[in-house]
Chains A and B, each alone.
Chain A
Amino acid sequence: MTAILYILVFTIIAIGSWQAVKIFGLLKSNEIATEKENNINGWLMLGIMAFLYSLMIFSFYKYSKVLLPQLAASEEGLHIDKLFKITFILIFIVQFITQFLIFYFTFKYRGKDKSYKATFLTDNHKLEFFWTIIPAIVFSGLIIYGLWTWNLVTDITNKEDNPIYIELYSKQFQWEARYAGKDNILGEANIRNIKGINTMGVDMSDKNSQDDKAVLHEIYLPKGRKVVFQIRSQDVIHSAYMPHFRAQMNCVPGMKTYMGFTPSVTTEEMRNNEDTKIKVTNINKIRAVNSKKLIANGEDALEPYIFDYLLLCNKICGSSHYSMQMKIVVVEESEYNKWIASKKTLAQVIN
């Protein structure tokens, strides 16, 4: 039955387009554009410019509330955001000007009557020099500032920071984590040691492993203290993505990767942030509408959304890629210490 429907739809479209071609074909048109065509399309090009500008403005007005909270949740994130803002403003200016020139020139110089002569202009070395050298200078600035930021945020070797070492461990489709414990050294691990509850393959013969602490479902980070993540994967490539902290690193099976940052906003503080509040209210409005539909169908309503930092998987890793995540809780260091003290060491759990 559906097959017949498809054939029918296809035939209608085919006949329709054939008719359209015939009708339009009747309208006489010259080989190169006529003056009328140039005129209409010149004006329409201005219309496109208006459309593009309004799309940009509309999107910024309407969609800026869905963006990540303006306040980065890590000290490194603040630097990245500054660089981002500068780059974005530059992009916006260039976009505005060049698009204007393209569409305005198209409109202004749309073909006129035959007596109009286009200007024979092959090149202009001065002009070309300027628009090569100006981007070169601007980009040099961006490169230098960008690399300064890059070196700052990727530097995890500075011992003065006294970082906490945490391992993030990924597998289809779940995150686990391991804290380095009292000695602040992560014990060796390999997937060949995976057995029973030792799901991360920690080498229990290593003395550094004994005081390590494994956690599931959520990790706690202390505010104001550098955290360095050692990242592993047991099956395919995943990516540890923490958008609020402006941090991301791939999880590659067979090797360890590292990233680090200093959390600077606790979960509680972020919940009280203006941007976050707007976003959360908006999401809850949407959820309320959806809940009504669900209740009408005799299902349970959605729980209201409360903001939390998330660790997401950001590298295609299989069918449940889209739901692979873990909660991150940032707290004051004293509270963090209490939380970590309440966890059992691997020696207690495994042996």
Chain B
Amino acid sequence: MSDHKETFITKYIFSQDHKMIAKQYLITGIIMAVIGGLMSMLFRLQLAYPEQKFTILEAFLGKEGMTPDMYMGLVTIHGTIMVFFVLTAGLSGTFSNLLIPLQIGARDMASGFLNMLSYWLFFLSSVLMVISIFVHTGMASAGWTIYPPLSVLPQAMSGSGLGMDLWLISMAIFIAASLLGSLNYIVTVLNLRTKGMKMTRLPLTIWAFFITAIIGVVSFPVLLSAALLLIFDRSFGTSFYLSDIFIQGEVLHYQGGSPILFEHLFWFLGHPEVYIILLPALGIISEVIATNSRKPIFGYRAMIGSIMAIAFLSTIVWGHHMFVTGMNPFLGSVFTFTTLLIAIPSAVKAFNYITTLWKGNLQLNPGMLFSIGMVSVFISGGLTGLILGDSALDINVHDTMFVVAHFHLVMGVAALLGMFAGVYHWFPKMYGKMMNKNLGYLHFWTTIVTAYGVFYPMHFIGLAGLPRRYFNNTAFPLFDDLLEINIVITWFAIIGGLAQLIFLGNFFMSIFFGKKTVQNPWRSNTLEWTTPIEHFHGNWYGDIPEVHRWPYDYSKVDENGDYYQGEDFTPQTVPIREGEEEF
């Protein structure tokens, strides 16, 4: 496999090599993140300085400056891009592709062609999504949840015209891409593990990617069907989601549908989506924390059990997004029950990370700091889920800024920190170079401080009763006193946004000018560090190494108190010694 001829096009563009595809996903994800991030800066400025006309932003906003329609469009596309294009495709796409074959000991994905197709469909959907921002009637602006009838009727909102069409087509293609990728991950993990790589010897990264792919396959098709029905309602006059509508002096023909149906279908993906984003990030930090603590991950089996429990429960909690849609209170009770259940495996995971740190020999490189930061943010954001998941308490904070603060911390910032941890940790594997560490530190410190600075005060705005997606909060006096908090938040956001330039600079400079890496820079146990530094299709010269132990034998000592191998790590390829106890 390694000796076939590669041209520029097959190597860099239509590559079937999982490592190249991973890099393509990462770069596309970064570009989308920059777009989504810049959008958030624009609407944060609007929230902090609603009266101000920023002439300097005319190039982005046009002569009129920020209008309510544009504000809605920005929050909608910001959400869509960040949730799907950055934290789903950018995160899972990058690290599942890079790590699954390398860590299980396979030469490539089960189907290199499908993998390539998956990336290019994702690329196409990204291009369409970006184009949709610039259409004349405005970008899709019904919120990233695109609830009908708002998203169906151009009369209700100008963004529900061509912009919405492009949004839906883009998402349909995105889902196809995601499904191709997920199927490939599942098949690869099940079939292509190297000799000795039992399921119980898989690194937690692979477990997380594997289970994530299964959730994706289960739930994404439902969003696709929801989107298709929405397209029918929009373009072909069906009434799946609409009934009894009177708008602009006119009764529309729709009869018999229900917007609630859409909400159910949407959140059947929408909630598992949270875990599609989170689990890979948690998988990444499991690996990074264990490696840099020089200590096994605590409770490996409990971690796998928790991942599975979370995955299962995630598919039966979607109704907690709909407590105030008029659903039967009994049904609400059921969803409250399942939602609070999911807190148990999440708590177990958090405790396990903390215990992994305990009595470790922590090597605080940037990847490790981002991982620890993620645990902190995951807990801070996760805890407020106890309020939102409890139907009675949700009534008063539902759809307020409190929700925005909650999910940005628990899945937005947390997953982003996990993604950064992954980039810093596996950059040497991807590019054969080291990223600059001091810039990495600077990046971490500014990011964690500003992330908390943005989202911690935001809880208070929500508890004051301010609904989300408000163009400004001074239309009536009730929320006048929230402006000063909004200004604080916006400044933290701007500084946090600028801090990401450090990362971008570091990332792209290091690709070209970074210091050359050694084969196993973090002294890690997993298989990817047994491959040569330079990339070629097929991963290993000669035979694929055999695996003899689990991946977390860090600081393992024999009966004399000496390290096995004389080092504080024992790679998976090292055979079990006589008399040694295998985990």
Interface residues of A (CB under 8 A from B): 2-3, 5-6, 13, 17-18, 20-21, 24-25, 27, 29, 31-33, 37-38, 41-42, 44-45, 48, 51-52, 55-56, 59, 63-68, 77, 79-80, 83-84, 87-88, 90-91, 94-95, 98-99, 101-103, 105-106, 109-112, 116-124, 127-128, 131-132, 135-136, 139, 142-143, 146-147, 149-151, 153-155, 171-172, 190-192, 194, 201, 231, 234-237, 239, 241, 243-244, 246-250, 252-258, 279, 282-283, 286-287, 302, 305, 310, 312-323, 325
Contact = CB atoms under 8 A, between A and B. Distances in A.
A147 to B, nearest CB: 5
B244 to A, nearest CB: 4
A80 B392 CA distance: 6
Given A55-B452, A248-B324, A286 B344 contact: no
Given A27-B438, A111-B363, A132-B344, A106 B372 contact: yes
Most chain B Cβ neighbours within 10 Å, of A6, A283, A316: A316
Contact of A68 (B351, B372, B465, B475): B465
Given A63-B485, A79-B392, A120-B554, 15 more contacts: A5-B56, A29-B436, A33-B368, A41-B441, A48-B449, A56-B456, A80-B395, A111-B363, A118-B568, A122-B300, A132-B302, A132-B344, A257-B326, A302-B477, A316-B147
Nearest to A91: B383
Interface in B419-464: 434, 436-439, 441, 445, 448-449, 452-453, 456-457, 459-461, 463-464
Interface residues of B, number: 141
Given A121-B298, A139-B343, A237-B147, A106 B362 contact: yes
B509 A111 contact: no
B365 A33 contact: yes
Top 6 nearest A-B pairs (CB, nearest first) are: A254-B243, A257-B326, A17-B505, A243-B465, A323-B475, A191-B246
Interface string B118-143: 00000000000000000000000011
Nearest to B299: A123
A286 B481 contact: yes
Contact of B149 (A37, A106, A119, A253): A253
Contacts of A32: 292, 363, 365, 521-523
A350 B534 CA distance: 82
Given A154-B332, A254-B242, A105 B348 contact: no
Majority secondary structure of chain A interface residues (helix, strand, loop or mixed): helix
B316 interface: no
A119 B337 CA distance: 38
Contacts of A252: 258-260, 325-326
A139 B392 contact: no
B372 A38 contact: no
B324 A249 contact: yes
Contacts of B142: 316
B438 A250 contact: no
A37 B444 CA distance: 14
Interface string B323-362: 0111001001100110011011001101101110111111
A194 B246 contact: yes
Interface stretch (B31-39, B65-73, B265-273): B65-73
Nearest to A84: B393
14 contacts: A38-B363, A83-B392, A95-B379, A106-B364, A110-B364, A111-B361, A118-B555, A123-B299, A128-B348, A254-B243, A257-B325, A286-B483, A314-B400, A318-B156
B150 A319 contact: no
Given A83-B392, A91-B386, A150-B392, A68 B463 contact: yes
Contacts of B504: 17
A347 to B, nearest CB: 23
A322 B68 contact: yes
Nearest to B334: A147
Nearest to B460: A63
B481 A66 contact: yes
B574 interface: no
B549 to A, nearest CB: 12
